[in-house]
Each structure stands twice: as C-alpha cells, then as structure tokens.
Amino acid sequence: MIELITQQPFVSAIIALVILGVPFGALLGFAAVKFKTEGDPIADQVEALLPQTQCGQCSYPGCRPYAEAIANGEAINKCPPGGETTIHALADLLDVEAVPLDEEHGEENIKTVAFVREDECIGCTKCIQACPVDAILGAAKQMHTIIASECTGCDLCVEPCPVDCIDMLPIETTVQTWSWDLPKPAEVIATDKNSGDEVAA
C-alpha cells in the first residue's frame, strides 16, 4: 500500500480524491432532493414588496407574474403604483442599482380610488369583469358600485366602461389620516427664513 503511494503518487492521489468524492457527492445529491426548496423564494420575496394593485401597468398580468419576471432578471422599475419606495426596496433586496421609474409604464401618481357615478351606470358588468380584486359590486342591468376599502386604484375598470361613468378620485387626507411631514433640511445660512409652523420648542 505505502509502496504504491510512494511509487505512484499521482494515481494514488486521484484514487483518494475519488474515494472522498463519491460519498460527498452522494451526500450532496441526497441533500438536494431531501431539502428541495418549494416554489421560487426570490419571487416570493419580490412579490412581498410589490404593492399588489394587480394593475398590470408593468405589462405583466398581475403582481405575481411581474415578481417572477424580476426574479428572472426583468427590470425593477416598471411598477408605477409602488414608485420610488418599491424600487429602492427591490434594489436593496436584489442588490442591484436603484434606477428611476420607467416612464413608459406610467408615472407615480397620488393614490386614487375608483368611483362609479351611479345614476349614469347602465349595469353592463364590464367593469366587474375587469376588476382584479373583485371590488365592484353589481349585477347585469343593476347599478354597480365600488367597495372603496377593497379598491386598489388600479384603473383597469375605467377603460371597459361603455358610458365612461367611472372616475378615479384621489384619496383625500382627513384629520384622521393626516400626518406630520419630515422637517425640511437644515438651512445653512442663519438669516434664511426657516419654515415656521412647527411646534414651539
């Protein structure tokens, strides 16, 4: 044995490596089968960051397909409802450069909610079929209305309406939803007037 090693060091090294390699390879193979990851974890993580408006402005039929596309290397800047925040979050997650929103897919607008002008509605159910989250209530030849709390503001119901009776209304700030803004960055020159209306300190 020792003779063989000394006389044929190269061959014996290869044999030793093969002997080591076989069980470890088998172990890895077994682990790959045993601990197989179900689904696509990256797509799941990406999906969790998307706003779930299901608006299709990214040109994919919903947030999940876009998440899967991103996981496969699609650009991260095609989601107008998510806007800058989502792009930054995705850039952080995927460790890529944050790029500005792709204007082609729409601009980042203020949040809206759909509103049916009910006296003009003819009850055609076209908007009901278009709504990705079933947020429109109504039946054939009956007036339709939007369940505002479920509406994602995706805009998809506006196009199919034959009588144009759906408006996208901006969500108004009320006393309950109002919040403080971040203070403006510090003025360097003391004589510059600071925007005053803050709490007396």
Partner 1 sequence: MRKVWDIHGGVHPPENKEQSNQLAITSAGIPDQLVFPLSQHIGTPAAPIVAVGQKVLKGEIIAEAKGFVSVPVHASTSGEVIAIEQRNIAHPSGMAAPCIVIQADGKDEWIEHSGIEDYTAVDKAELLNRIRQAGIAGMGGAGFPSAVKLGTRDDQVIETLIFNGTECEPYITADDMLMRERAEEIIAGAKILKHLVKPTKETIIGVEDNKPEGIAALEKAAQGSGIEIVSFPTKYPSGGEKQLIQILTGKEVPSGGLPAQVGIVCQNLGTTVAIYRAIQFGEPLISRITTVTGEACEQNRNYEVLLGSPISHLLELSGYQQKKASRLIMGGPMMGFTLHSETVPVVKTTNCIMAPSAKEIPPPTPAQACIRCGMCAEACPVSLLPQQMYWFARGKEYEKLEAHNLMDCIECGACSYACPSNIPLVQYYRASKADIRQQKQDAIKAEQSKVRFEARQERIERQEAEKEAKRKARKAAAEARAAGNAEAGKVDAVQAAVERAKAKKAATDPAQVAAETAADPAPNGDAAKDAIARALAKREAASSMTDEERLLNAVKALGKRLDKTREKLATAQAEGSDTVEILTETLAKLEIKLVDAKQAYDDHQQKN
Q: Which residues bind partner 1 (CB under 8 A)?
A: 47, 50-54, 62-63, 132-135, 150, 152, 173-176, 178-183, 186-187, 189-190, 192, 194, 196-201
**Residue 131 Cβ vs partner 1, minimum distance, rounded to whole Å:** 8
Quote the CA–CA distance of 47 and 44 in Å, as a whole number. Answer: 5
Q: Is 1 or 140 the residue whose CB approaches partner 1 more closely?
A: 140
**Strand extents, DSSP E, 69-175:** 112-116, 136-137, 145-146, 166-170
| Amino acid identity at 9 | P
Q: Which is nearer to partner 1, 49 or 161 (CB)?
A: 49
Neighbours of 51 (CB within 10 A): 18
Contact 76, 66 (CB under 8 A): no
The angle subtended at Cα 87 by Cα 156 and Cα 36, nearest 5°, is 95
- Considering the complex, what minimum distance in angstroms separates the CB of residue 105 from partner 1? 19
The residues near 28 (Cβ < 8 Å, ≥ 6 apart) are none
* Whole-angstrom Cα Rg for the chain: 29
When the beta carbons of 119 and 172 are compared against partner 1, the nearer one is 172
| E strand map for 109-149 | 112-116, 136-137, 145-146
Give the nearer residue to partner 1 in terms of CB position, either 2 or 190: 190
116: helix, coil or strand? strand
Q: Which is nearer to partner 1, 44 or 164 (CB)?
A: 44
